[in-house]
């Protein structure tokens, strides 16, 4: 009973912190946009962790779907209809669709092979956005567009001019995605994914269609990361091919590992640390890449269970 209450309290505390963030961020040297970025990255890392931590499948190419969704949203708003919800819808469809097709091709592969193929596939979309200059803007990225305020009929949401409002706009989708993820993970389907993670062979002998479950988990994960991708495009009013680069995929994985990939909130903790550190370090030195590389190495060597993993172990003792 105590553990149950603790978990409830922790959940409530996390939501309270997220809900009040715009009010106290300035006091500790933050700014609202940083909070928005944390939310977007956290959503992406949690989406990846649906696959990584809860299905036990290592995808190292999630930036592809993240970036595709970002381009989908941006290009819709720029070329077709200046509408934020429509842009998001198209972006999510594009990202999830690509995930469904590629997922079907690779679902039979396992372990390192799976990881390697996901990395390599991610690069296709990178090169397409990089090369298709006249549509995607190539290396310079897609500029000259911005998110559009949303007209709800009775009121107008000025997400463009009001950063606090846009933070809550992102938080809304963040909460919605997390609620969906929780429902999925608590359902028989989610329990089956855990069973596959723990012992794939046994799951197969029990008659579980393992490939179909892994594919579904991959597509669901791509769906959520696509939501994050569209929000990322809206947040920056800009997309460039780096959103699809394998470095970005690596960042998502390290956020999940850093926070603790076996716990639900782990990737959020990882994203907070990563984004804040990135913001701080890259404004103080040009050698951000060496720093992040060292960061990766140190986490793997000394911190493989992540922040919440260590915390969990202490509680268990």
**Binding string, 4-43, against another protein, x = CB under 8 A?**
----------------------------------------
Q: Tell me the two tokens of residue 279.
A: 């913001």
* Residue (88 or 240) nearer to another protein, CB: 240
State the nearest-atom distance from the C-beta of 117 to another protein, in Å. Answer: 6
Asked if 276 is part of the footprint of another protein (rule: CB under 8 A), the reply reads no
* Phi, psi (rounded to 5 degrees) for 150: -105, 130
Which residues lie closer than 8 Å to 19 by C-beta, 6 or more apart? 171
Measuring CA to CA, how many Å separate 124 from each of 63, 75, 158, 213, 239? Answer: 12, 18, 36, 25, 17
For residues 265 and 287, give the distance between their C-alpha atoms in angstroms, rounded to a whole number: 30
* Residue (124 or 175) nearer to another protein, CB: 124
In eight-state DSSP terms, residue 142 is: B
Question: Which of the stretches 24-32, 187-195, 251-259, 263-271 binds another protein when contact is defined by CB under 8 A?
Answer: 251-259
Among positions 114-153, residues that touch another protein (CB under 8 A) are 115-117, 119-121, 123-124, 127-128, 130-132
For residues 181 and 50, give the distance between their C-alpha atoms in angstroms, rounded to a whole number: 8
Which residues lie closer than 8 Å to 127 by C-beta, 6 or more apart? none
Among positions 41-100, residues that touch another protein (CB under 8 A) are 52, 58, 60
Which residues contribute to the site for another protein (CB under 8 A)? 52, 58, 60, 105-106, 108-113, 115-117, 119-121, 123-124, 127-128, 130-132, 246-247, 250, 253-254, 257, 287, 289-290, 292-297, 299-301, 304
């Amino acid at each position: 009973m105590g553990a149950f209450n603790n978990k409830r309290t922790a959940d409530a505390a996390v939501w309270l912190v997220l809900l009040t963030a715009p009010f106290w961020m300035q006091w500790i040297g933050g700014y609202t946009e940083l909070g928005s970025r944390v939310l977007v990255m956290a959503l992406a890392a949690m989406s990846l962790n649906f696959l990584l931590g809860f299905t036990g499948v290592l995808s190292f190419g999630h930036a592809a779907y993240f970036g595709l969704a970002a381009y989908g949203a941006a290009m819709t708003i720029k070329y077709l209809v200046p509408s934020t919800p429509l842009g998001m819808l198209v972006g999510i469809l594009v990202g999830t669709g690509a995930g469904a097709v590629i997922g079907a091709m690779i679902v039979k592969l396992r372990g390192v092979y799976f990881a390697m193929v996901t990395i390599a596939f991610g690069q296709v979309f990178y090169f397409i956005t990089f090369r298709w200059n006249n549509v995607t803007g190539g290396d310079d990225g897609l500029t000259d567009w911005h998110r559009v305020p949303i007209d709800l009929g009775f009121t107008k949401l000025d997400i463009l001019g009001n950063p606090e409002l846009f933070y809550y706009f992102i938080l809304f989708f963040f909460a919605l995605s997390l609620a969906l993820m929780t429902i999925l993970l608590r359902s028989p389907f989610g329990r089956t994914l855990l069973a596959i993670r723990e012992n794939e062979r046994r799951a197969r002998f029990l008659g579980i269609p393992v490939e179909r479950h892994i594919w579904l988990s991959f597509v669901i994960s791509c769906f959520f990361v696509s939501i994050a991708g569209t929000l990322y495009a809206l947040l920056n009013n800009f997309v460039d091919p780096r959103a699809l680069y394998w470095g970005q995929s690596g960042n998502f994985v390290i956020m999940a590992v850093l926070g603790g990939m076996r716990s639900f909130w782990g990737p959020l903790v990882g994203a907070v640390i990563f984004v804040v550190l990135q913001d701080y370090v890259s404004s103080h030195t040009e050698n951000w890449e060496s720093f992040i590389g060292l960061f990766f190495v140190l986490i793997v060597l000394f911190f493989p269970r992540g922040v919440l993993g260590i915390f969990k172990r202490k509680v268990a003792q």
